[in-house]
Each structure stands twice: as C-alpha cells, then as structure tokens.
Structure 1
Amino acid sequence: MTAISFITSVENMPHHKRTDLLNAATAFCESFAQKKSPDEILSHFSSSSDPLAYEHGLKELTPFLGREFRGRDGVREYFSTISSCLSYEDMRFADYVVDAVENRVAVRGTARFTWTATGESWDEVFAYALGFDDQHKVVSYEVWADSGAAYLASKGQLKQLKSENN
C-alpha cells in the first residue's frame, strides 16, 4: 500500500469503525480487569475464526510464555493456565491506540501480580496487542509483560532479589 492509498483509505474509513474497535478493546480489557468469569472473557473472542493467545517470552520460564494457544479451546487453556499460576489486583488500562485500517488495538496495562504458589508479588506494566475480526471479536491477543519477575516469583527468588537491591 502506498502512502497516498493509505491516507485515502484512512480518510474514507467510517469514524464509527475506530469507535467500535475502541469499545470492543475496552470491554475486553475491563472484563479481564474486573475478574469476570472465563466464559465472559472468552465471549470477546471470535467464534468464526481461529483465535490466538500468545504471551511473549521464553517458554522455559513459565507454562504460559512462548506458546501459541490456538482456537477457543486453546484460549480457554491459556486463561486457565494463567489463573492457576497468578492472581492480580488493581488492574488498569490506558493509552489505547486504535489502527482501524488493520483492525488492531494496542493498550498499556498496570497491575499487581502474585505468583500464587510462592505468594511473591510485583507491580508491573504490560502491553496488549489485540487483533479483531469484522464483528469486533478478538482474533489475536498478544501480551508483552515482565517475564523475569514472573519467573523469579515462581522460584521464590523475587523477594530476595528486591531486598538485596534496596
């Protein structure tokens, strides 16, 4: 796509498409932040395509990093795996960036996470990249987060590292 055709396509794009994508992304993020049921969170994902959940990082660090969770069953497995390892509080989202041409939304989140088996917690800033279908359902959910803190907390070593550096 040339720069001129991109500008023309953006100019001709209905304003409501951007608003619809922003509303869909906000609804998804808020359902997660409010700790809604897995079924409600999953309802934001496409049922007509093969959705993907992927959290970037080395797969050797935690059971949810570096693996593609595909299809609605895979996405359900991702969220089940996350909830078996982590709890969180004070999750908030801000700085939504909507790309209506590509049906994508990027957003920054913050929360306090706890690795449940060790009880070790950390404050984190993370990012989501969400891809949507034409019905404004999530088809791709990518996460960039602090995999180092998650790994250290899973091993019970985060608190010790924090105290050594204070």
Structure 2
Amino acid sequence: MSHRASLLQAATSFCESFASQKPPNEIFSHFTSTESNILVIEHGLPRLAPFIGREFRGNDGLQKYFQTISECLSYKNMHFSNYVVDAEVRKVSVRGEATFTWSSTGQSWDEVFTYVLEFDDNDKVEKYEVWADSGAAYLASQGLLT
C-alpha cells in the first residue's frame, strides 16, 4: 500500500471512530504511543470555550481535551469528506459536518469544520488540529444562539 493510501486509511478510520461516537479508548488508539509527540489544539480565542485556544499535550492532555468536549457538547449526524493527503509531510486535511448541542443550554447549531491530522511513521495521529465555528459555540454556551 502506498504512503498516501495508508495515511488516507488511517485518517478515515480515526474520523469514522469519532463520528460514530466510539468509546474514548478506541478513539485514543488512533494516537501515537510516543506520548511526548501528542498535541491537540482547537484554534480560536480561549475565552470562548474551555477547549478552544489551548494546547493539550501528551496522553493526559488528550484525555482532558476529549473529556472537556464531552462535558460541553454532544453531536449528531457527523460525517467527513474532502480528504486531502500530503504524504510528504504525513498530514491529512478533512472537512467535517455535524449538528452540535451545547449541553448546559440545549442550544444546537449546524457546523462545518476542518481537521488537520499529522501522523507518525506508524500512521498514528501525533497532532490533531481543529478549526471550527468558535463563535457559534460561544453563543450556544451563553444561551444566545438564535
């Protein structure tokens, strides 16, 4: 299998496990075993939500990010498309869509977001970056989404 195909398969497998809301340990199994290389960041201003604009590093950071997300949000109808593989730098960019609900207010919004996944030599995620609608998340958290 080519490097491009193996990266595409790894990215697709990760995204499908997240979209189908697999247990955390199954999602974590897609990440590198070299703990010092794990970095999760959802880009945006930190004051907008507790999971935005902060670097989550290592296994502890990975677990804290997903725990924080699950405490704040639920989601449904998540799906991914437009996978772009750069085998030379071992990165995959992917477009996602889902309906998110802020748990404490019950406010929901439809969102398009982007992941950029960077992989190690074993096709395991090292860096997980998210670009999403942080404004909608903030408004929903405040009960102001209309």
After the TM superposition, list the runs of 4 or more consecutive aligned residues in structure 1 that deviate by more than 2 angstroms: none
Structure 1: segments with no counterpart, 5+ residues: 1-14, 160-166
Structure 2: segments with no counterpart, 5+ residues: none
Report the counterpart of residue 31 of structure 1 in structure 2.
17
Looking at structure 1, the residues matched to 139 and 4 of structure 2 have their Cα atoms a distance apart, in angstroms, of 39
Report the counterpart of residue 155 of structure 1 in structure 2.
142
Cα displacement (A) at 1:28: 0.2
Looking at structure 1, the residues matched to 115 and 59 of structure 2 have their Cα atoms a distance apart, in angstroms, of 18
Looking at structure 2, the residues matched to 106 and 74 of structure 1 have their Cα atoms a distance apart, in angstroms, of 22
Higher relative contact order (Cα pairs below 8 Å, separated by 6+ residues)? 2
Report the counterpart of residue 97 of structure 1 in structure 2.
84
Larger Rg: 1
Report the counterpart of residue 5 of structure 1 in structure 2.
none
Cα displacement (A) at 1:58: 0.2
- 2:2 equivalent to 1:16: yes
Residue pairs, 1:17-166, within 5 angstroms: 17-49=3-35, 50-159=37-146
Per the normalisation by structure 1, the TM-score is 0.86
Cα displacement (A) at 1:125: 0.2
Cα displacement (A) at 1:72: 1.3
Looking at structure 2, the residues matched to 57 and 86 of structure 1 have their Cα atoms a distance apart, in angstroms, of 17
Per the normalisation by structure 2, the TM-score is 0.98
